[in-house]
Amino acid sequence: MKILLYTAFLKDFFLRIFSVLRSSCAAFTFLLIILFSPGLQAATAEKAMVVSPDPRATQAALEVLKQGGNAVDAAIAAQWVMGVVEPQASGIGGGGLLIFYDIGTRRILFFDGSVKAPAKASPGMFLDKNKIPLPYQPERNTGGLPVGVPGLLKLMEEIHAKYGTHKFPFEKLMEPAIQQAEKGTEVSAALARTLRENAERLELLDPKKEVFFENGVLLEGGQEFSQPELAKALRLIQAKGAKVFYKGAIADAIARAVRKNVYRAGLLSERDLKDYAIATRDPVHATYQGYDLFSAGPPADGGVMLFRGLNLLSHFGLPGFGQVPETYHLLGEAQKIAFSNRSGVADPDLFDIPLEKLLSEAWAQDRMNAIQFDQILKSDEMTVEVPERGKKRIGSSIIVVDPKGNIVILTATLGDAFGSALRVPGYGFFLNDLITDFAADPSTVKDPNSAAIISGGQRPRGPEAPLFIFKEGSPSILLDAYGWDDPAAVLLNVMVQKIDLGASCLGAVESPRLLVRGRALHMESGLYDQETIRLKLALLGHDIEKEDPIGFAQIVCFDKGSGRIEGESDPRASGEAAGF
C-alpha cells in the first residue's frame, strides 16, 4: 500500500533528478516507464471494479466489496476516505449527487444531495454597501457568506438505509477514514498542489497556521498529517448518526462558525440544517449511436449539456471522419452551441424545466445548420461561459461495480478548493462555497424571475455529469469527470473518442482534449502540438490556446463477449482503478 501512495510523489522526484539520469540510457528508459505507464490507473477484472481519484479510497471500497458489501456500501466507504485524504475536493461540508443502477429492479435512480441556499439568502447578499458585487476571491468565496446547507452526509446515510447491506452498517463504513484521520496519512500530490495554490486564502482564516502547516511551513507531498478534529466529528457521527450533524452538536457548531465568522459572516442557521432533505429524481435520458445514455438531471446541468452536444454531433457522421481537423472543428462548434445557454436548467423543486425542448431533435435540427466546415460560428450569442476570475470548481468522483451487477457513481464537491476555506472549529471539516454559483449582481440578470437569482432554500445549478451508457439493456460504459468546472466538455471529448472514433477504454481517456471558453478553443498539448490539426483549425478562424490538463476523467468498460470489466483512472491525475 505504501508503494501505491507514493507513486505520484515519485514522478515529481524523478523529474527533479532528470539531469542526473539522462546520462544513462537504461535509467532514462526507467524514468519514462515510471512517468508515462498507466500503472495504477488501469485495471481489468471479472466481477467488480472501483475507480476513484485516490488509491486509498479505491482500496477502502475494494475491501468492502471483497467482504460482501455492495456498490452502495463501497462508494460510501470510499467517499468517507476521500473527505480525509483530499479535504480540498469534497467532504461532509459540501454536496453530492448519486446515480444508482439497481440490478434487482433494473432501474436507474438519481438522488440529489446538492446544497441549498440558507432561508435568509437574498439577491443582494453578495453586494457591498455601494451595491457593487464583492470581488470573487477572496471576498465572495471565503468565510461564512458563501456557505450553503450541506447535503452529502444525509445523501450517504439515506441511500445506505435504502440500498446498503446489513453486513456493513453505516457506522462501520466510516472506520477506514477515521483510522486515517486519527493515525495520519500522507499528503497526496493533489492535496500538496492545491495547498500551494490556496495558501493565502487558508491563512486568511487560519492566521496561526495550525492546520496543514508544520512549524509555520505548508505541508508538502509525502509528509504525514493527521486530523484529530475531523476524526472527532466522524466518531460523533459514527455514534449518533447524521442527526448530530443536522440538529445536534455539530449543527450548532456549523451555524455558529458561519454566522460569527470574523472575515465574512453568513446566513446559514440551525433551522436550515434541520430542514434539509435530499431529493429523489428521474435521471435524464438520451440515445446516441445506438446507446442509451443516463445522467443526473437538474439541478445538475452537465448531463443535459452533454446530451445536447451529442445530439448535434449525431448529424455529422463522426465515425467516418477519424483523427482529422474536421473532427475537432465539429467538437468545438458543438460545444459553442450546446453549452452557450444553460439558463434552462435550475432547481426543479422551484422551477419548471423544459427538458423535452432542451433535448429535442427539433432543437438539434434547427441549430446544426449553423455549423459550417469552412468557417467558425459568428453569432455572439453562441459564447460559452468563462468562469469568473478565481473560480475553479473541483470535486471527486467514485465509480463502483459490485459482483451482483449493481452500479454507483457518486460525485461530490465543496465548490472551489477547500470550499469557503472555513473549517468548523472543533470538528475539522471545510464548509462549501457553492451558493456563489448564483448571480452576484441581480441587476445584470435580464429576467427578474430567473433561477440565476438566489432565493432562500434554492439549490444552485451544478455542472455534474455522471454517466451510465447502456447497450441493448446492459451496462456498456460508465463515465464521470472531476477537477474541472465543466465535466460535460471533458466527457464529450471522451465519448467521441470511444464511441465515434473507436478508441479503447484507456485510449478514450488518454486522448488529448479540447474545449471552448468564451470564443477561444483551448487544446491540450497532445492536440496543440499536432501542427496539421492546429494550423487547419486556426485557418478556419479558431482562436487557439494551449492548456494542460483539461479535467480528469474516469471510465469503466464492459466487454460483453468475455465478461471482463476494464477500469481506467485518468493518467493526468493520481487516481486508481482496481477490481477482482
Give the confidence band of 19 by pLDDT, cuts at 50, 70, 90.
Answer: very low
* Residue 11: per-residue pLDDT: 41
Position 4 pLDDT exceeds 50? no
pTM: 0.92
- Reported as a single tens digit per residue, the pLDDT across 364-419 is 999 999 999 999 998 776 778 888 888 999 999 999 999 999 999 999 999 999 99
Q: Are 201 and 188 in contact (CB under 8 A)?
A: no
Alpha carbon of 535 to those of 26, 346, 520, 538: distances in Å?
A: 37, 39, 15, 5
Q: Are 130 and 121 in contact (CB under 8 A)?
A: no
Q: Are 571 and 38 in contact (CB under 8 A)?
A: yes
* Residue 13: per-residue pLDDT: 41
Q: Could you give the CA distance from residue 160 to residue 169 in angstroms, rounded to a whole number?
A: 8
Per CATH, the number for 281-389+464-579 is: 3.60.20.40
Helix axes 228-240, 249-259, angle to 10 degrees: 130
- Reported as a single tens digit per residue, the pLDDT across 36-68 is 334 478 899 999 999 999 999 999 999 999 999
Per cent of the chain over pLDDT 70 is: 93
Q: Where does the chain hold its CATH 3.60.20.40 domain(s)? A: 281-389+464-579
Q: Could you give the CA distance from residue 520 to residue 488 in angstroms, rounded to a whole number?
A: 17
Q: Are 188 and 8 in contact (CB under 8 A)?
A: yes
Sign of CA pseudo-dihedral 215, 221, 223, 226? positive
* Residue 381: per-residue pLDDT: 66
- Reported as a single tens digit per residue, the pLDDT across 79-138 is 999 999 999 999 999 999 999 999 999 999 999 999 999 999 999 999 999 999 999 999
- Residue 20 or residue 542, greater confidence: 542
Mean pLDDT within 148-174:
98
* Residue 104: per-residue pLDDT: 96
Q: Which residues pair with 313 in a beta bridge?
A: none
- Reported as a single tens digit per residue, the pLDDT across 467-522 is 999 999 999 999 999 988 899 999 999 999 999 999 999 999 999 999 999 889 99
- Reported as a single tens digit per residue, the pLDDT across 260-310 is 999 999 999 999 999 999 999 999 999 999 999 999 999 999 999 999 999
User: In this structure, which amino acid lies at residue 384?
Assistant: V
* Residue 80: per-residue pLDDT: 98
Alpha carbon of 381 to those of 295, 385, 461, 518: distances in Å?
A: 27, 11, 21, 10
**Terminal CA-CA length for the chain:** 17
Give the confidence band of 27 by pLDDT, cuts at 50, 70, 90.
Answer: very low
Position 351 pLDDT exceeds 50? yes
- For the chain, give the number of residues: 580
DSSP 8-state secondary structure symbol assigned to residue 343: T
Sign of CA pseudo-dihedral 471, 473, 478, 484? positive
Q: Could you give the CA distance from residue 305 to residue 335 in angstroms, rounded to a whole number?
A: 9
Q: Which of 333, 332, 341, 318 is nearest to 368 (CA)?
A: 333
Per cent of the chain over pLDDT 90 is: 86
> Do strands 543-546 and 520-523 pair parallel, antiparallel, or not at all (unpaired)?
parallel
172: alpha, beta or left? (left if phi > 0; alpha if psi -120 to 50): alpha
* Residue 563: per-residue pLDDT: 93
Sign of CA pseudo-dihedral 507, 511, 516, 517? positive
* Residue 185: per-residue pLDDT: 96
Position 336 pLDDT exceeds 90? yes
SS (H, E, C) 210-226: CCCEECCEECCCCCEEC
Q: Could you give the CA distance from residue 300 to residue 409 in angstroms, rounded to a whole number?
A: 14
Position 552 pLDDT exceeds 50? yes
- Reported as a single tens digit per residue, the pLDDT across 205-218 is 999 998 899 999 99
Give the lowest-confidence range in 1-5, 353-357, 406-410, 545-549.
1-5
- Reported as a single tens digit per residue, the pLDDT across 426-438 is 999 999 999 999 9
* Residue 287: per-residue pLDDT: 97
* Residue 484: per-residue pLDDT: 83
Position 22 pLDDT exceeds 90? no
